[in-house]
Copies of this chain bind each other. A is one copy, B any other.
Amino acid sequence: MAAVRIAGNKFVIIGGASLVGSATAAELLDHGASEVVLLDNFSLGSDAAIAHLKDHPRLKLVRGDVMRVSDLLRATEGAAGVIQLAAFMTLNMDRDPYAGLDVNIRGVQNALEACRANKVKKVIFASSNAVYGYGPGVKGDLVESTPFHSVGAPPAAILYGATKIIGEQLCRDMYRKHGLDYVVLRYSTVYGERQHYRAANALYIIETLDKIRKGEAPQVFGDGSETKHFVYVGDLARANRMALESAATDVAVNTSGPEPITTLDLVKLVTELGGGGPAPEFVGNDGKVRLTSGGAFRIAHEEAFNAIGWKPEVKMREGLTRLIAWLDSSNEAKP
């Protein structure tokens, strides 16, 4: 049976000092996990992301690297489940593609090898809607069989998507050859409390709020009709937990929020929830790496319900309200 009980068991989150890692740790601890290990090298992870958990008696923080098998072998000893989050995303992949390919491919190999050696029952691999690619080819309903589009996308975005495709196949290969149970969750762009500044799309929310708070006009790229499909971090933490608990194995499903939003609607919503501000300014491309979609698309999450019983609960209005409250209280807390 591929179902793993949370209560009384040990779990390891690789790349755990992160937005998704910290929320997932809290979720697992709330459900009675005997120990949650956050393994992170703190090159992308941060103390800030896990400040709220630091003194939890069943949480263990390990400074370790997904590129060192010895670190993984030690951390995963006795673990019932492992969640592999450690990865470069597109912005970092652009800066250093060789290091990004290493972490996103060899890192997954290392994690899977450690899990196999330590007889871990189940692995949750954080994949991405990047497996459908970017650019004008991506439109309509994105379901799990949608192919990978690359024409019109920058190299770093294609590299990122391709590494997630490879990571998924490494899980499949390990399942077929050695019976290691796994569930792949294809995260859409995550946002929420303890939001970092590293993801091209989620960053846009914070940039917009920053503009508003300074009394400047928020920027909309293009005509604002472009779709984004975010997912709230708490919903993802629940998806990770449910993927462990479910009997599902050898499957990859989308985990997106309740519905997509256009860029213009997003900016309007952030402006409203941020307490009002100037009307948005429509601008051309500023040369930064931005991941453009072909217009209207929706990342379908119905298969996740079929496989692990999960569906998203937090709508953008609610999730953004929480994110903004957290940003405001963090700023107040600054000396």
- Residues of A in contact with B (beta carbons under 8 Å apart): 97-98, 101, 105-106, 109, 133, 137, 144-145, 147-151, 155-156, 158-159, 162-163, 165-166, 169-170, 172-173, 176
Q: Are B147 and A165 in contact, CB atoms less than 8 angstroms apart?
A: no
Name which residue of chain B comes closest to A109, CB basis: B98
Q: How many angstroms between the C-alpha atoms of A143 and B137 in the bound complex?
A: 14
Q: Are A172 and B155 in contact, CB atoms less than 8 angstroms apart?
A: yes
Q: Are A162 and B165 in contact, CB atoms less than 8 angstroms apart?
A: yes
Q: Are B173 and A169 in contact, CB atoms less than 8 angstroms apart?
A: no
Q: Are B147 and A149 in contact, CB atoms less than 8 angstroms apart?
A: yes
Inter-chain contacts of A149 with B (CB < 8 A): 147-148
Shortest Cβ distance from residue A256 to the other chain B in the assembled complex, whole angstroms: 19
Select one of B105, B147, B148, B156 contacting A105, CB under 8 A: B105
Q: How many angstroms between the C-alpha atoms of A137 and B166 in the bound complex?
A: 19
Q: Are A173 and B155 in contact, CB atoms less than 8 angstroms apart?
A: yes
Name which residue of chain B comes closest to A152, CB basis: B145
Name which residue of chain B comes closest to A169, CB basis: B155
Q: Are B155 and A145 in contact, CB atoms less than 8 angstroms apart?
A: no
Inter-chain contacts of A150 with B (CB < 8 A): 147-148, 165
Name which residue of chain B comes closest to A164, CB basis: B162
Shortest Cβ distance from residue A312 to the other chain B in the assembled complex, whole angstroms: 24
Q: How many angstroms between the C-alpha atoms of A173 and B158 in the bound complex?
A: 11
Q: Are B101 and A166 in contact, CB atoms less than 8 angstroms apart?
A: yes
Sample (11) of A-B pairs whose CB atoms are under 8 Å apart? A97-B169, A97-B170, A101-B105, A101-B166, A147-B150, A150-B165, A155-B172, A155-B176, A159-B170, A162-B162, A162-B165
Q: Are A158 and B169 in contact, CB atoms less than 8 angstroms apart?
A: yes
Shortest Cβ distance from residue A90 to the other chain B in the assembled complex, whole angstroms: 12
Q: Are B166 and A162 in contact, CB atoms less than 8 angstroms apart?
A: yes
Inter-chain contacts of A172 with B (CB < 8 A): 155
With A98-B109, A145-B151 known, 17 other A-B pairs at CB within 8 A are A97-B170, A101-B105, A101-B106, A105-B105, A133-B148, A137-B145, A137-B147, A147-B151, A150-B165, A155-B169, A155-B176, A158-B165, A158-B166, A158-B169, A162-B162, A162-B165, A162-B166
Inter-chain contacts of A155 with B (CB < 8 A): 169-170, 172-173, 176
Q: How many angstroms between the C-alpha atoms of A109 and B96 in the bound complex?
A: 12
Q: Are B173 and A97 in contact, CB atoms less than 8 angstroms apart?
A: yes
Inter-chain contacts of A169 with B (CB < 8 A): 97, 155, 158-159, 162
Inter-chain contacts of A106 with B (CB < 8 A): 101
Shortest Cβ distance from residue A180 to the other chain B in the assembled complex, whole angstroms: 13
Name which residue of chain B comes closest to A136, CB basis: B145
Q: Are B145 and A147 in contact, CB atoms less than 8 angstroms apart?
A: no
Shortest Cβ distance from residue A162 to the other chain B in the assembled complex, whole angstroms: 5
Shortest Cβ distance from residue A134 to the other chain B in the assembled complex, whole angstroms: 11
Inter-chain contacts of A162 with B (CB < 8 A): 162, 165-166, 169
